[in-house]
Structure 1
C-alpha cells in the first residue's frame, strides 16, 4: 500500500504531506495497521527497561508526531514505544516555511522546523488519552523566546505537566534549529539543568509512575566531550541517553542542490550516530541504557546499533522512506540476526562488539 502512496506523497510539499498523512491515520488508526501488517512477537526481543516492558527494541523517534495526534495509529504500526514532541511550555509556530526538505538520493531529510507544537497543555491532554496503549515518551524543549539563562524555568514547567503522564522524559538541548539551544550541552549548563529537572520529576511524578529521565545528545560534539558528558550525566543521576539528534554536517551527500540549513537525518547520519552509541556505551561501561537513533533504515542498521551498545533503537526518516512495513521487517530481521549469531536474547547482543 505504501509503495503505491509514496510516489504521490513525494510529489507534495514535504511538510504538507506529513500533516496530511498524520491527520488521515489519526482519524482511521486501523488504516495504519493495515499498511504495516502484523508484527510478530519474538521472545528473544522482549526486555524490561526502567520498569517498562518493551515487546521489541524498535520505537518511533520524536519529531514525527510532535503533538501526539496519531499515537494510536503509530502503535498500530507495531512500534513498541512512541516518543512525542518536542513539546514546549507555550505553543509556538516554529521557523518560517519552507523548513522540511527531502533528499531522495540519500534517503535523508533536512529540517529546520524549530519546535513547532501546540504547547504543553494541549499535548498533555492527548498523552493522557493514549496512556496504556504502550510506552509513550515525551521530548521536552524550551520556547524560542526563552533566553538560555531562563531555560530551566521552561523545562521545570514541562516536567510538572508531564511527569505524572509520560513513561519516560527526554531533555532535548541538542536540536540545531532553536538558536543557542546547543549551548546548553556543556557540563556547566546541562548538569544543573538535569539535577533541577530530576528533582522536579521526583516531586511531581505519581508514586507508582516515576518516569526515567533521558538526555538526547548531538552527533556534532567532539568525541572527548561526548565521553566526558556521558560520565558526568551518569553521575548526575540520568537514567539513559539518546544518541543522536540530527547533524548540521553534510557528509557525502549525492542529492543535487542541497544548500538548505537545518538538521540532517537519515542514511548519511547512520555511521556517526553508531559511533556515538559506541562512545557512550564505552564511557559508561554499559551501565546506562542507550537509545540509538540516526540512520536506522533497516534491520541491519538497528542490529549495528544494538551491537554497538544500544538497548533500544528509534526510527523516523526510515519510516518516511520505507513506510509502515519497516517495523515488521526490522523486528523479524532482528530476531533472525540474533539467532544467526548464536544469541538467545537481545541482552546478549547489546554491546557485543565491545566484547570482541
Structure 2
C-alpha cells in the first residue's frame, strides 16, 4: 500500500506503508491560477484543477524529499513532461541529484489537452518509459501511471512494458468539469479523483490483469477509502493500491488501511491467516 502526498504528519503510522509517492512534479515549476487547486465536488470526490501550480523537480529534491524519507519507507517521485525530451531531462536530473535517495519514479502519462484521445499512443508511452529507464539505470523502479481509458489501456500498458517499466498504475485522473453553485462563476476544469473514479479504475485494472501479454504487477488507484475497496482492487488483479484522494481528505488513512489489510492476500478475495 502506498500514499501519494507532499507533507505527511508524524505519528500516524506511515512507516507501515510499502512506499510513498510524491505529488507529480515537472522539470521547471509550472505557473498556474491556483496554488492548491483541489475542490471536493461530491462525496469523497475531488476535482484537481488543470491550471493548478506544479512544483519543480528541484523543489521536490531539496525541500520535500528529506521530509518524506524520514519514515524509512521507499519514496517514488512522480514526474510528467510534455514530450520524450522532457521526460529524459527530469529523469536525468533526479538520477544525478537524488538517485541514491529514491526507490524510483512514477511516470505520469497524461493525454494532450485536445479532443483527440488517440493522440496518446503506445509508441509515446514506450519511448517515454524507455527514456526514463535509460537515465535511471536498471535498478530503479519505474512505475508507469496510465490514463483511465478501459478501451485503450491494454495497448498503452504493453508500450510501458516494452519500454522497461517495473510496474503499472491504473489510473490517473479522469478529465471532468464542475459547475459552481454561483451561476456567474467560471466552470472548474480539471480531473476527477476519488469515489467517482473507482469504478472506471477497477475496470482498467481488470483489463490489464486479463491481458496475457502483460506480466507486470499492477497498482490499483482511484477511490480507495476502506479495506473493502482495497480488496476490490486485489480481486480485480492488482498487487497493491495507491491512496491519494483518501489521504487528502483524511490524513493517516493510508497507514490505517495498511494496518487493517496486512493479512489480505493479493489477487484474491481471501485472506491469509
* Superposition TM-score tier, normalisation by shorter sequence: 0.7 to 0.9
Q: Which residue in the other structure is 2:242 paired with?
A: 314
Q: Which runs of 4+ in 1 moved over 6 A?
A: 255-258
The offset of 1:114, in angstroms, is: 4.6
- Is structure 2 residue 135 aligned with structure 1 residue 200? yes
Q: Secondary structure at the match of 1:60?
A: strand
- Is structure 2 residue 174 aligned with structure 1 residue 247? yes
8 Å contact from structure 1 (residues 140, 170) kept in 2: yes
Determine which of 136, 139, 149 is the counterpart of 2:75: 136
Question: In structure 2, what is the Cα distance between the partners aligned to 1:162 and 1:127?
Answer: 9
Question: In structure 2, what is the Cα distance between the partners aligned to 1:91 and 1:351?
Answer: 42
Determine which of 149, 170, 183 is the counterpart of 2:106: 170
Question: In structure 2, what is the Cα distance between the partners aligned to 1:326 and 1:98?
Answer: 21
Q: Which residue in the other structure is 1:231 paired with?
A: 158
- TM-score by length of structure 2 reads 0.80
The offset of 1:241, in angstroms, is: 0.6
Mind listing any 5+ residue stretches in structure 1 that lack a counterpart?
1-57, 339-345
Question: In structure 2, what is the Cα distance between the partners aligned to 1:70 and 1:322?
Answer: 11
Question: In structure 2, what is the Cα distance between the partners aligned to 1:75 and 1:158?
Answer: 31
Q: Which residue in the other structure is 1:334 paired with?
A: 261
Determine which of 172, 191, 210 is the counterpart of 2:126: 191
8 Å contact from structure 1 (residues 136, 167) kept in 2: yes
Q: Which residue in the other structure is 1:35 paired with?
A: none
Question: In structure 2, what is the Cα distance between the partners aligned to 1:150 and 1:74?
Answer: 39
Determine which of 44, 49, 62 is the counterpart of 1:107: 44
Question: In structure 2, what is the Cα distance between the partners aligned to 1:124 and 1:137?
Answer: 11
- Is structure 2 residue 80 aligned with structure 1 residue 151? no
The offset of 1:71, in angstroms, is: 7.1
- Matched residue count: 261
Q: Deviations over 1:302-324 (max 9, x none)?
A: 11001111111111222233442
The offset of 1:124, in angstroms, is: 1.3
The offset of 1:93, in angstroms, is: 3.2
Question: In structure 2, what is the Cα distance between the partners aligned to 1:326 and 1:71?
Answer: 12
Question: In structure 2, what is the Cα distance between the partners aligned to 1:90 and 1:305?
Answer: 34
Question: In structure 1, what is the Cα distance between the partners aligned to 2:193 and 2:253?
Answer: 20
Q: Secondary structure at the match of 1:248?
A: strand
Mark the CA change 1:137 to 1:257 in structure 2 (over 3 Å): closer, same or farther.
Answer: farther
8 Å contact from structure 2 (residues 13, 252) kept in 1: no
8 Å contact from structure 1 (residues 230, 284) kept in 2: no
Q: Deviations over 1:268-323 (max 9, x none)?
A: 11111111111111125662111111011111111100111111111122223344
- TM-score by length of structure 1 reads 0.63
Determine which of 9, 15, 20 is the counterpart of 1:82: 20
Question: In structure 2, what is the Cα distance between the partners aligned to 1:240 and 1:315?
Answer: 16
Write 1 or 2 for the structure with the bigger share of strand: 2
Q: Which residue in the other structure is 1:277 paired with?
A: 205
Q: Secondary structure at the match of 1:134?
A: coil
Mark the CA change 1:309 to 1:109 in structure 2 (over 3 Å): closer, same or farther.
Answer: same
* Farther off after superposition, 231-240 or 133-142: 231-240
Q: Which residue in the other structure is 2:58 paired with?
A: 121
Question: In structure 1, what is the Cα distance between the partners aligned to 2:223 and 2:268?
Answer: 18
8 Å contact from structure 1 (residues 140, 158) kept in 2: no
Mark the CA change 1:158 to 1:141 in structure 2 (over 3 Å): closer, same or farther.
Answer: farther
8 Å contact from structure 1 (residues 296, 315) kept in 2: yes
Q: Secondary structure at the match of 1:241?
A: strand
8 Å contact from structure 1 (residues 88, 158) kept in 2: no
Question: In structure 1, what is the Cα distance between the partners aligned to 2:194 and 2:217?
Answer: 22
Mark the CA change 1:110 to 1:293 in structure 2 (over 3 Å): closer, same or farther.
Answer: same
